[in-house]
Chain A
Amino acid sequence: MTVALDKAGGETMLEAHGVSKMYGQVRAVNEIDLRLGPGVTGLLGPNGSGKSTLLKLFAGQLLPDTGHVRLLGADPFHEPRVLRGLGLCPEQDKFYEDMSGHDFVRALTRLHGLPKSEAEQKTYAAMKRVGMERFGFKKMKEMSRGMRQRTKIAQAIAHDPPVVLLDEPLTGADPVARADLIALIRSLGEEGRCVVVSSHVLHEVEAMTHDVVFIRYGRLRAHGDILRLRTKLADRPYRILLDVDEPRRVAARLMALPFVQAAKVLDDEPSPLEVTTTDLDTAGREIPRVVAELGGVVRGFTSPDADLESLYRYLISRR
């Protein structure tokens, strides 16, 4: 089942329409329809699900077997000029090891045909933006993994592209660097760029965006806002953990409500009442009201099934 939400009718910057890509007998991408606009989008799926192939199709490095890809309205495979508007941060971590980070970024920026002075200026700005202005002189082989990641992102954004594709951009970065890079990626999206982030680390994607695309077996499984997608999975009820006094009394009262499927009292737990519901929004409004009618107060209200991880688990693990 593919879950799709209605999307805003804003400017489409990346588009895949009926796109399939075969590697021999293996269908890496299968009939994918996708339209992406400004903002950060998380591209999620297990290994071999077709994420990198989809990014390569968007980057014009592969020709789809069926369908078409549009980058800023043009075919990136047949019209390389449109790649001026693309920044790609690939997953691979091998570079010209004897080059300094600054030279590396400048050399790649000059491939856009920029004059030396302009390329130099944009390189400096990009290195500064990723927090590498003080380490730009270091040779690539002397850099830590996190520095290399930052440098890789710098080369992707140095020429100021409206579309940025980031394949596992946080790999190897330490916690502080991760926080910085997440903030950077969010800011790129807030500037109105179309930023696509492929990652395995779900909580980091969640920190960057609530807009996600799930892919499995090369097929689009879901696309949309995390919370709204979760509500579409009606056959997967939410568990809600409530911290209330008199949990048995509250449980008995809640069981009478139509949106509550089950209530379980958990002894010796910080949140002693677990409620199962298919309508998290309604539950969020009604449960505190009901508890208040009983003279109590809800001190804690959490759902372990409403985050990206649970959504990923439901969408990717089940067939």
Chain B
Amino acid sequence: MSSHDQVFDIGYRPMPERGRRQPPAVAIARTMLLLAWRQRATKIVLLICLAVLGGHGVWLVGQLLFERFGSGVGPSGLPVTELVGSTREVLANFLRVQFFTTAIAIAVIAGGAVAEDRAAGAFDLYFARPLTRADYVIGKLGGAAIVPIVTILLPVVLLWLTALGIAPAALRSELWWLGVPSLAGGVLSVAVLATTIIGASAIGQKARTVSVAYIAAVIVLSGIVEGMTGAGYAFAGYLSPERSLHTVVDWLLAPQQSMLGSQVSGRYTPINHSALASLTALLAWAGAGFGLFWWRLRSEVVG
């Protein structure tokens, strides 16, 4: 405390602030992505994701161009309705394959999102600033979500718009209905991948350990689930996020058979219980990831 005999030069005067304040969550997400971008592995996995997108793009465009400028039948002599089915297949396959590649990408990019902060003692530096736990959660989840948004959600919309743009007029009305299910599949992928990697990062100690463990878990879990379902344990399929996503996406992308499709098209279809169970399993994975993150934050950061 100042003593009676202490003289201050000018007294404290804060510097004037210019411009609007930005949400701190944006800065948190930006820092996280900036740190990841410095790694060579990040660029490599993103290139792989780009290659997957490129391959599916070529597949889709090739089919549709052949249809447009061909004789009204598909490349293998398929009728138009089967070409629509092929477009669905491209979108569904893209979501399935890109889910795997993005799982690797997000493990590399966001594996250290929380683990690094804990190791670096960044919580002390972060929470001595005007931000809340909610800001931190939004920032980290937002930063992690950017990865599947860029590698899955935006590309699937791009593929769909490309299909719409170059498809023959007769196909457009059919392809139009694939947009919402594709988007929903992409959003589910984003939610599951972002929350699970952040949850894993929250309980991990080192970025590299979290990344390797996450990728191994995705691969091993898929293998185990394949084996168990092959041995007759059908319920095991719900344990694999990739398989659950596949089930849900197949359901969503088949408008005539899905609840969403029936609502959109006005046609009644029976509820697919397997797809609903898969959706529940995906939401449970997302909830578990978020729960781990929140638990860690509550235990290490007050307020």
Contact = CB atoms under 8 A, between A and B. Distances in A.
A60 B303 contact: yes
Contacts of B20: 115
A111 interface: yes
Contacts of B242: none
A81 B34 CA distance: 26
Contacts of A37: 1-2
A113 B24 CA distance: 5
A196 to B, nearest CB: 10
Contact of B125 (A7, A8, A108): A108
Contact of A192 (B10, B17, B18): B10
A10 interface: yes
Contact of B18 (A83, A92, A99, A118): A118
Nearest to B128: A88
Interface in A76-131: 77-78, 80-84, 86-88, 90, 92, 94-99, 103, 107-108, 110-115, 117-118, 122
B38 A191 contact: no
Interface in A3-61: 7-8, 10, 12, 35-39, 41, 59-61
B28 A111 contact: yes
B297 to A, nearest CB: 13
A63 interface: yes
A210 interface: yes
B4 interface: yes
A136 interface: no
Nearest to B20: A115
Interface in B10-43: 10-15, 17-24, 27-28, 30-31, 34-35, 38
A78 B116 CA distance: 27
B209 to A, nearest CB: 16
Contact of B130 (A36, A82, A189): A82
Interface string B109-128: 00000001001111011111
B1 A80 contact: no
Contact of B38 (A88, A98, A122, A189): A98
Contacts of A111: 24, 27-28, 126, 129-131
A201 interface: no
Contacts of B119: 94
Contacts of B299: none
B276 to A, nearest CB: 41
A77 B302 contact: yes
B116 A7 contact: no
Interface string B259-303: 000000000000000000000000000000000000000000111
A255 interface: no
B71 interface: no
A188 to B, nearest CB: 9
Given A103-B34, A111-B27, A111-B28, A38 B12 contact: yes
Contacts of B22: 110, 113-115
Contacts of B8: 38-39, 189-192
A107 B2 contact: no
B76 interface: no
A237 interface: no
Among A8, A78, A82, A107, residue most surrounded by chain B Cβ atoms (within 10 Å):
A107
Nearest to B139: A111
A86 B125 CA distance: 11
Interface residues of A, number: 59
A148 interface: no
A160 interface: yes
B1 A77 contact: no
Contact of A61 (B21, B124, B132): B124
B128 to A, nearest CB: 4
Nearest to B117: A96
Contacts of B120: 94-97
B98 to A, nearest CB: 28
Contacts of A77: 302-303
A192 B35 contact: no
Interface string B153-193: 00000000000000000000000000000000000000000
B129 A112 contact: yes
B34 A88 contact: no
Given A98-B35, A191-B8, A192-B8, A81 B130 contact: yes
A59 B4 CA distance: 27
B3 A107 contact: no
Given A190-B9, A191-B8, A99 B35 contact: yes
B130 A83 contact: yes
13 contacts: A10-B1, A39-B1, A61-B303, A77-B303, A90-B124, A96-B116, A110-B27, A111-B28, A113-B24, A114-B22, A190-B9, A192-B12, A211-B6
Interface of B: 1-4, 6, 8-15, 17-24, 27-28, 30-31, 34-35, 38, 116, 119-122, 124-132, 301-303
- Among all A-B residue pairs, the 5 with the closest Cβ atoms: A113-B21, A192-B12, A88-B128, A110-B27, A192-B11
Given A77-B303, A189-B8, 15 more contacts: A36-B1, A37-B2, A38-B2, A60-B127, A60-B128, A61-B302, A62-B302, A95-B120, A96-B122, A107-B27, A108-B129, A114-B21, A114-B22, A192-B10, A192-B13
